[in-house]
Chain A
Amino acid sequence: MSRRIIIPFGPQHPVLPEPIHLDLVLEDEIVVEAIPSIGYVHRGLEKLVEKREFPEYVYVAERICGICSFIHGSTYVTAIETVMGIDVPERALYLRTIWSEYSRMHSHLLWLGLFADSLGFENLFMQSWRLREQILDDLEATTGGRVIQGACKIGGVRRDIENKKLDEMVTGLKDLGSDIRELNKVFFNDSSVRHRTKGIGIILEKEAYELGAVGPTGRGSGIAEDARMLGYAAYDKIDFRPVVEKSGDCYARCVVRGKELLTSIDIITKAVDKIPDGPVEVKITGTPNGECWARAEQPRGEVMHYVKGNGTRHLLRHRVRTPTFANIPFLVKALKGCELADVPVIVLSIDPCIGCAER
């Protein structure tokens, strides 16, 4: 019988952008068990809801994550609006949809770059991040922020986008779409990428569902679920199909994200085509009294914001379940039986955002 050794992996590691620690129990080069530890960057943001009034807490919700901040903000305000029965203007819902898809694109391009970096493919990393700049430029031009947008508020959005600018954005995305197709050709067909990702970290549909996997992680295993199908914001008015792959390996998770970039462009184009004129916010009166679980599709998967109010300006509870938190059991199972050299690729393949998961 082989001798067992434990190798600590993280919280700081050359290919790991997030502070997660794994105790990897090895027999020779094979991982027989992976025990995760988080807790290095727990900020207790949910607790701040007791100190901040519900309208200003939007700023805290947005700062849960520096990559999908917009969707955290929009999901929190959706929860409050549902509790308070606020009718949000339709134009605001379309703008939230457009900015959500921009957030997804910037997150996926960031991830594709990091994933290429974890494979040692530096040029592909640079190409991915070069394309991401255009997305960030549009986000900055329309919201004022590259990372934290601050565009959502209870009852609507803080800024409108002129129709002329929306048309320019669609034109820009058309060109970007061609570049993304070229980028995807490399990610999907390059022999070194395929060699490092095909057949690695396999979890098939049934097990992935049992493990509660969400987002591209689950869809890479064949789970045809996408929280956008719930129809929040303007998604109920835009036709789209979730990207699903069946093989359940790192390659499938990469393919899902690559194809989702093109789905996002398609959704934005349709949203710009349908967006009505009109106000982008309504004045809110009253305080939240009741509870709601709001769900949305972040770049990493389904996020859930639970709010419970008692009719005062301070909520009793705000609870966030981020997609990475839901995908930790999937990661633990995917690592079991892999080779030590594949650990970074498998960890990266779930697109972990531990800062987000710890809140």
Chain B
Amino acid sequence: MKAEEQPVIPTETPDLISCVSKLHSEGYRLVAISITKLGEIFQVDYSFDRNFLFRTLRLLVPTGAAIPSITGIYWAAFPYENEMHDLFGITVTGIALDFNGTFFRTAIKYPFSVNTDRKEDNSCPGE
């Protein structure tokens, strides 16, 4: 099988809503919003699909910065945006269905906002 093409489109926070609106008007479905913590930066990926054409808008958000909700365009983004807040501590403004931090009830606040110390071992498996 040929690997699926997965273009990543770098996006700035002020342009997010217009970029998402454009994809919405072109008939794309929201697949997921995924966060990756990279040091002091959050990589926020908005993934979309239309007839198996997969593409991702990528924001790089500094810790403490707020991003606008896309629930005005994709109402179904509310679980992802509440998750983004509850697990990573990212502030999302204007969520259509905002649980105010109670969507995921975790013992530790924003558990995914810190990176665990890991052993850096570059040896190959089986060696």
Contacts and interface: CB of A to CB of B under 8 A. Distances in A.
A39 B104 contact: yes
B59 to A, nearest CB: 15
A50 B116 contact: yes
19 contacts: A37-B103, A39-B106, A42-B105, A44-B111, A47-B111, A47-B112, A51-B116, A53-B125, A55-B125, A209-B29, A212-B30, A293-B47, A293-B54, A295-B54, A304-B31, A314-B119, A326-B31, A328-B79, A329-B79
Contact of B115 (A50, A236, A293): A50
Interface of B: 1-4, 6, 29-32, 34-38, 45, 47, 52, 54, 56, 74-76, 78-79, 86, 97, 99, 102-106, 111-112, 115-116, 118-127
Nearest to A93: B1
A24 to B, nearest CB: 15
Contact of A236 (B1, B86, B126): B1
Contact of B75 (A211, A232, A287, A317): A211
Interface of A: 35, 37-40, 42, 44, 46-47, 50-51, 53, 55, 82, 209-212, 225, 229-233, 236, 283-287, 292-293, 295, 302, 304, 306, 308, 311-314, 316-317, 319, 321, 325-326, 328-330, 332, 358
A5 B126 CA distance: 62
A313 B123 contact: yes
A39 B105 contact: yes
A-B pairs with lowest CB-CB distance, top 10: A329-B76, A321-B32, A39-B105, A317-B36, A50-B116, A39-B104, A212-B76, A319-B34, A314-B118, A285-B124
Nearest to B83: A325
B126 A212 contact: no
Given A230-B4, A293-B6, A321-B31, A313 B122 contact: yes
Nearest to A292: B6
B29 A212 contact: yes
Given A37-B99, A39-B104, A329-B76, A316 B36 contact: yes
Given A50-B118, A212-B29, A329-B75, A285 B47 contact: no
A285 B127 contact: yes
Nearest to A223: B29
Contacts of B106: 39, 42, 44
A258 B111 CA distance: 40
Contacts of B47: 293, 304
Contact of B103 (A39, A209, A306): A39
Contact of B3 (A50, A82, A286): A82
